[in-house]
Amino acid sequence: MAETIFSKIIRKEIPADIVFESDTVLAFRDISPQAPIHIIIIPKQPIAYTTEIDGKKDASLLGDLFDAANLIAKEQGIDKTGFRIVINNGINAGQEVPHLHLHLLGGRKLSWPPG
């Protein structure tokens, strides 16, 4: 996978407001938040796009990502009010950083459908 800004955040070469870290997952506040709570949750292993995910091989990692999202939502106090998890994949979805990531958004009423 190509080097991205998230690779540098994983290696702690550039600062980020990290809210969760495990052996497999890192989560930090988005630099340009679109909601009062906007956290980026990434696998530490190099997966650029959802199309690279092998459901069986990566099942444990996917579980880790969603476990982290639920834990963070609870810690941030948005588990009861609700939140949105978004994965932008590829050009038409506006994915800017080619390193798989979940956006965890909450803290306000979110409109639907997204743009």
Active site residues: 101
Residues that bind ligand 5GP (CB under 6 A): 5, 16, 28-32, 40, 88, 94-97
Handedness of CA 84, 43, 34, 15 (dihedral sign): positive
State the nearest-atom distance from the C-beta of 42 to ligand 5GP, in Å.
9
Q: Which residue, 57 or 76, is less far from ligand 5GP as judged by CB?
A: 76
- The secondary structure of 19-51 as a DSSP string is EEE-SSEEEEE-SS-SSSEEEEEEESS---SGG
State the nearest-atom distance from the C-beta of 57 to ligand 5GP, in Å.
23
